[in-house]
Amino acid sequence: MALQVAIRRCFGEKCVTKVITDPDLTPDLTIRGVPIYRGLLDATAQAAMLEKLREIVALAPLFRPVTSRGKEMSVRMTSAGCCGWVSDQRGYRYEDRHPGGMDWPPIPDSVLEVWRAVSGTDRLPDSCLINFYEDSARMGMHQDRDEVDLEQPVVSISLGDDALFRVGNLTRGGKTESVWLSSGDVLVLSGEARLLFHGVDRLRPGSSQLLPKGGRINLTMRVAR
């Protein structure tokens, strides 16, 4: 995994991080302006990241969100970072604490390393949404637009079973394109593709051995505030 160098300099109480991206790190595929890095995380890196995620879930357990209309989502989720994305009858938003009242755990360094490698921005994410898909779970077409600065990217990491990822347009409807994402794949929503509608239609159960009981974990890092 080729990465960039992050140089941190402090002037009094103010610190600035300058990110230099490795020019050799190029996407294997681009779909509608969304770069996809196939197998950016190897098996060892995936297993190590999974252990960090287990630590997060032990502190901030997975919960099943509901839509503003009271319908349960098919995924379970939690977050890491300064704030976490939640959904209930009050709507979609970022909150400082888990619905159970506890603070969100920090984003693991291994996850931040991926952001630094592919995001193309000096800013670091303040939130990492962790979605767990069971075999029958899916994610309807949606935009990620609850963040304050929509010019900042969203970086997505896939772990576990393959998922059929669908990309649409800047408005709902119209023709779409789909691609299978495998464990260790990373993609970026940025620039003109930042607000494309996207979703997950289905999983390919048993396609990965990373999770003993199957399923898929999707991490999405964002600059929420």
Three-state SS for the chain is: CCCCEEEEEEECCEEEEEEECCCCCCCCEEECCEEEECCCCCHHHHHHHHHHHHHHHHHCCCECCECCCCCECCCEEEEEECCEEEEECCEEEEECECCCCCECCCCCHHHHHHHHHHCCCCCCCCEEEEEEECCCCCEEEECCCCCCCCCCCEEEEEEECEEEEEECCCCCCCCCEEEEECCCCEEEECHHHCCCCEEEEEEECCCCCCCCCCCEEEEEEECCC
The segment with the largest mean pLDDT, out of 3-7, 65-69, 85-89, 105-109, is: 105-109
Domain map (residue ranges) of the chain: 27-222
pLDDT at position 68, please? 84
**Separation of alpha carbons 180 and 114, rounded Å:** 20
User: What are the binding residues?
Assistant: 85, 92-94, 131-133, 142, 144, 146, 172, 198, 216-222
pLDDT at position 9, please? 37
Q: C-alpha distances in angstroms, 174 versus 102, 169, 170, 187, 194?
A: 41, 7, 10, 22, 17
Mean of the per-residue pLDDT values for the chain? 92
Q: Are 148 and 83 in contact (CB under 8 A)?
A: no
Compute φ and ψ for 111, nearest 5 degrees.
-75, -45
User: What are the binding residues for substrate?
Assistant: 85, 92-94, 146, 172
pLDDT at position 22, please? 58
User: What are the binding residues for Fe cation?
Assistant: 142, 144, 198
Confidence of residue 16 (pLDDT cuts 50, 70, 90): very low
Radius of gyration (C-alpha) of the chain in whole angstroms? 17
Closest CA to 114 of 154, 170, 171: 154
pLDDT at position 182, please? 99
Check pLDDT > 90 for residue 4. Answer: no
Closest CA to 182 of 202, 205, 159: 159
pLDDT tens digit string along 126-167? 999 999 999 999 999 999 999 999 999 999 999 999 999 999
Check pLDDT > 90 for residue 200. Answer: yes
Overall average pLDDT of the 16-43 stretch: 83
**Separation of alpha carbons 61 and 80, rounded Å:** 11
Q: Are 42 and 100 in contact (CB under 8 A)?
A: no
pLDDT tens digit string along 31-73? 999 999 999 999 999 999 999 999 999 999 999 999 888 899 9
Domain spanning 27-222, CATH class: mainly beta
pLDDT tens digit string along 66-97? 988 889 999 999 999 999 999 998 999 999 99
pLDDT at position 209, please? 98
Closest CA to 181 of 9, 38, 1: 38
pLDDT at position 177, please? 98
